[in-house]
Amino acid sequence: MAEYKDREHYIPVRRHDLVQLLCTDRGLDRSAADQFRQLSELLSATFHFEYHQLLEELKNEYAPFDPDETTKPIGKLTAQERGQKLARLFERFAWLMERANFKRLDRQEIVEATKAVSDWGLNMDVDFSNFESFDVYARGDTVGTRYRRRWWNWFRLESVQLAVYKRIVLIVKLKPSKRVPAGVDTDTVFLKVFKDIPKIDMEMLLPGARYRMPGGARLKLGGSFFSGILWIGYSIGEQLLGAVAELSASLFWGPLLAVFGYGYRQYYGYQSTKNIFSLRLTQSLYYQNLGNNQGVLFHLLDEAEEQECREALLAYYCLWRFAGDTGWKMADLDDYVEMELERLAHIKVDFEIDDAMAKLDRLNLVTRNGDRYAAVPIDKALERLDYAWDNYFRYNKEAAV
C-alpha cells in the first residue's frame, strides 16, 4: 500500500461520470453494468439519507451562531452552554472537513502566507488576537497559472505559475475589536468557502485584516507630503517676513488657507488610494467566493456525501471485478484502485482505503477471511442495500394500534 506525499485523498470525478467509466470498461457485459448502476443508485440514496441526518445535526449546532438566522430562538443559552455548543460546532465541522477530504492548515502555514503577496493579491496585516476561534481548511494543493502585463516588458501578456489551493474553507469566531466593524455581531460564527486562492494571498480571506499599502504607493504619498510641507513652510516663512514688514494681519490668511487646503488634498489622496485597494480586494474575492454561512454547510455536506459514495463504489467495483472469491488484502486493493483511476480517468490520488473498507463493511457488502476481503456477489449486495433502505424507519402500523 503506497503512500504519497504529493497526492490527496480527494477523487475529482463526479459519481455519475465515474459510474459511466466503470460500466463501459473492458469485459463488463450489459447485465452486469445495469446491476452496478443500480448498486450506485442505492449507495447514493443510502449516503444521502445518512448525510441528511448529519445536516440536521450541524444546522442545530450552528443555529445559535448563524449571522443570517431569520427564525426566533426558543429560550436563551447561558454563557457556559454557548461555550459548549461552540466547541461541539468546531469539532463537528472538523469531522465534516475530514469526510470531504480537506486538510486543516496549521497556524504556521497561515502566518507564512501573511509575509508575502502575489501580483493579484493584497498584502494584509492580520492580528490573530482578533479571533476567539478559527480554523482554515484547504484542498487541491496545485499549481495555477495567472497572467499579467508589466511596463518594462512593453505590456506584453506573460504567464506566471504559482502555488494555489483549489478550495479554502474558513470557520471564524471573532472577538470585539477595533478592527471589527461596529455592525458585525461577534457572537456569531462565520463560514466561508473560496476557490483558486494563491497560497501567499490567503490572508486576504481573514476578517479584520488591514491592507499594507505597497511601498510604491507609500513612497508616492510620503514624497508628495514632505515636498509639499517644505514648499508651504518656505511660502509661509516668506509671507510672514512680508507681513511683519508691512504689519498687515490680512496677509496671514493666505498661508493659513494654503495649510488647510494642502492638508485636505493629502487626506483626500490617501482616502482615494485606500478606496482603490479596497475595491481591488472586493473584486479579487467576488469571483472566488463560493458560499457563506449556512450555505457552506450544504455545499460541504454535498461534497462529503459524494466523496463517501465514490470511495465505496471504487472499492466494491475492484473487489467485485478483479479480486475473485479469495479476495485481496487492503494494501493490494488500495494499489489497484489507484492504478484503475490513473488508467481510466488519468488522475493520481492517494486512495483512502481504510475509510472505504469501513463503509463497505458497515453496509455488509464485503466478506472477510483473515486479512483478505472479497465482495459480496452483486445481486446479494443489491438485496442487502434494499433491505437496509426499507428498514431505516421501523414504524409498524399494526403494533401502533
Residue 341's pLDDT band, with cuts at 50, 70 and 90, is very high
3-state secondary structure of 147: strand
41-44 contacts at long range (C-beta below 8 A, 24 or more positions apart): 42/382, 42/385, 42/386, 42/389, 43/309, 43/312, 43/313, 43/363, 43/385, 44/15, 44/309
Helix (H) or strand (E) holding 291: strand 289-292
In sequence order, what are the residues at sequence separation of 6 or more whose Cβ sits closer than 8 angstroms to the Cβ of residue 6?
none
Question: CA separation (Å) from 269 to 67, 181, 211, 224, 255?
Answer: 35, 23, 16, 10, 21
**pLDDT tens per residue across span 111-147:** 877 776 666 556 677 788 889 999 999 999 888 777 7
Residue 191, beta-bridge partner list = 171
Q: Which of 102, 82, 84 is nearest to 93 (CA)?
A: 102
What is 195-209 written as a DSSP string? Answer: EEEEGGGGGGGSTT-
For residue 22, pLDDT over 90 is answered with yes
pLDDT tier, 392 (very low <50, low <70, confident <90, very high otherwise): confident
What's the CA gap between 330 and 332, in Å, rounded?
5
CA-wise closest residue to 352 among 10, 13, 39, 6: 10
201-244 pLDDT tens trace: 787 788 876 766 555 544 454 545 555 555 555 565 555 555 55
Q: What are the distances in angstroms from CA 164 to CA 100, 194, 197, 340, 362? A: 19, 11, 5, 27, 37
DSSP 77: -
Task: Give the C-alpha separation, 336 to 367, whole Å.
Answer: 18
User: In 3D, which of 364, 394, 377, 287 has the Cα closest to residue 327?
Assistant: 377
Local structure of residue 72 (DSSP, 8 states)? P
* Per-residue pLDDT reduced to its tens digit, 270-289: 555 555 555 555 666 778 89
**What pLDDT shows up at residue 200?**
78
Q: Closest Cα to residue 356, out of 375, 340, 387, 334?
A: 334
pLDDT, position 221:
47
